[in-house]
Structure 1
Amino acid sequence: MSVASRAKKLQRASSRKWNFFFGIILAAVLFVSVALRFYVIEPIRVIGNSLDPIVPAGSSIWVCKLPTCTHKLTRGDIVLIQLPDGEKVLREVFGLPGDSIFISADGKIQSAENSFTWEDESEIISPRNFQIPRRGDSLQIKNLNDISFDYAVAMLQRKKGLRKFYTEATLFRGKDSLSLSRVGSTSLAGRPVSIREIHGFHWQEYFLIGLQINREDPGATPVHFERKIFNAEDSTEISSIPVRENYYYVICTQGSRCEDSRQFGYISQKSIRAKMIHFP
């Protein structure tokens, strides 16, 4: 065999080895790219304007899905959360686990470390305060005010399902219970209130009904509603809710034009899918 033939043979063998080697490298790069795309970082185009002007509609952002990103949150972080209906939305972290929050009827939300004012806010009709649960807490139902009760019910809905429990409301004036028939003369949004639906209302609706009863029948002590939660299987009362993970309070910037924790309550750690990356 001539020197030229041997050189060509060696060149072909070497070429096959290099092609195989480069093929392995390309496959590894493709695998890493796919893994990064689905498990580490992901590009997202913002469709709505719920966080405008912080994140304008139509802008492109990157989010980090690693636990090191989603488990170490600070106030002001922009997070991708999954709602109970499966929809994923961007919201800003306002309150951290353990924070005490105050919301006023003029659209202002504040804590010891943070404050924000919604424009055209229509969800809060009376000032309320509450504390965001953190892992290891035990929510004592009898100690919760009306808005905290709603948030606790929302926690149970996500954790156990809507059909696993039910709530019951009782009307009181001071320490004396009153017949629920008193709500029959009240209305919400121009519609008469039915006694059969009274147990499934939210705190705002109970507040408005109470105002109407107090106007119709003034007394030294205003009327108020007390609510309890029961297991659907055996009708035993749920007196406390153990908190197994951290929870957060998230907001949007568009007041009544978008939904946030005012409507769907606290967001659990596992509902946070990613955090927006701020590039320098």
Structure 2
Amino acid sequence: MSRLSRKVKRLQRKNSQSHIFLLFLFLLFICGAAFVARLYAIAPVKIMDASMTPKFKEQSIHWMCKLPQCLSKIKEQDIVWLSLKSGETMVRRVLAMPGDSIEITDKGRVRTPHRNYKWKGEDAFIQSQTIYVPKAGDTLYFDKLNEVEQDYILAYLHTHGEKIAIKSTLWQGDREINIDRVGATKIANRQVSLKEVDYLPWQDRYLIELQIRQAEPGNAPIKIKRELFRLKPAKLELTPPPMSSADSTASDSIKTDSVKVAHVDSSKAAKSDSTQNDTTKKDSAVAAPAKPAPPKEEPEKYLDEPLNMIVIEEDCYYMTCIKGSSCPDSRELGYFTHKDFIGRYMEWPDRIKVKVIYPIQRYANRALDYALSLLAPEEEEE
């Protein structure tokens, strides 16, 4: 009887309202914890292209850690989930860390402080270049940077909200020549406009220099040099300077004299106004004066301030895809900073998937195929 009574009590406890309520709270807690973890801790990311092959296949899903502990310990060769200013996201690998100098040749050879390898399919660097990846606190001088570094610094300033302007000049050796000669060159069978030469990527400027050098006599190299300016609102620069003590006393005396004169004139004006009051009423009844038109808002004007010294405020990273060509990365977009990081790739979910989930799926598929083969009717022999 004791065993039967225990079973009855167990069944009653399982079917009680308190037990069901506690089970509901437990499931609700599990769902809430999973939702919070999905929102703030980890996230599945789908690779939409073949830019990370063979590491990640196209359309494959991988898990990224979004916790600050994961993003604060980025290392070379880590795979990071990034956000662009346009709102798009992508997954890229860390090629160079802050303070590193890397070299990418026109034959796809990559040299970093950490490794040296051949990058198959790399075709963005039509000229061998050495690139310095700045770290927080570095002071860079724009006129000392090469063409690639200048493009990257311009992108860095743009993403940090700096209003800048560029002025390009054309040089043959140590002699400046007319910049209008750029208009006689072509890129991809298209005439180059003088308005766009300031913001063309370094590859296009290099091709323009080659074309001008072929057309110009002499052996001196052709170079497009750029100057950088910071734009400041003109209204901030046009505020009057503070007056000296002598000017302030003179202005005070002028103000007192003007007050006295105004007081005398006001008494005279009061008498004349009383005599002309009736006539003004009649005139106003005939024709009311037109309201003045509202002043037009003029566009905000800016003043150019030369900008050559640039202080880097954040650590920069050089992020690349694994596949050599046809993928946007630091070669095109420039440096990335911690503000662009969303998450870091976690390897252990993929390991569990490869070592546990995939074998279980294979065994389950084999068992299902075997069961279906047993249930299938045998063909009758003729």
Q: TM-score, normalised by structure 1?
A: 0.88
Which residues in structure 2 correspond to 1:1-280 (within 5 Å)? 15-160=16-161, 164-232=163-231, 233-279=302-348, 280=351
Greater share of strand? 1
- CA shift for structure 1 position 68: 1.4
Kept after mapping to 2: 8 A contact 1:249/1:261: yes
- CA shift for structure 1 position 15: 4.3
* SS of residue in 2 equivalent to 1:257: coil
- CA shift for structure 1 position 59: 2.3
Which amino acid counterpart does residue 64 of structure 1 have in structure 2? C
**Matched residues in 2 for 1:193 and 1:223: separation?**
17
* SS of residue in 2 equivalent to 1:29: helix
* SS of residue in 2 equivalent to 1:148: helix
Provide Cα deviations, 1:157-197, integer angstroms capped at 9, x if missing partner. 11116xx2221111112332211022232211122222232
**Matched residues in 1 for 2:194 and 2:45: separation?**
47
Provide Cα deviations, 1:62-84, integer angstroms capped at 9, x if missing partner. 11011111121112111111122
Which amino acid counterpart does residue 274 of structure 1 have in structure 2? G
Which amino acid counterpart does residue 153 of structure 1 have in structure 2? L
Unaligned stretches of 5+ in structure 2?
1-8, 232-301, 352-382
Provide Cα deviations, 1:73-122, integer angstroms capped at 9, x if missing partner. 11211111112211111111111111101111112222121234333332
Question: 29-38 or 233-242: which moved more?
Answer: 233-242
Q: Identical aligned pairs, as a percentage?
A: 32
Which amino acid counterpart does residue 55 of structure 2 have in structure 1? I
* SS of residue in 1 equivalent to 2:196: helix
Kept after mapping to 2: 8 A contact 1:39/1:66: yes
Question: 263-272 or 187-196: which moved more?
Answer: 187-196
Greater share of helix? 2
Unaligned stretches of 5+ in structure 1?
1-7
> Alpha carbon RMSD of aligned pairs, Å?
2.2
Between Structure 1 and Structure 2, how many residues are aligned?
A: 269
Kept after mapping to 2: 8 A contact 1:230/1:238: yes
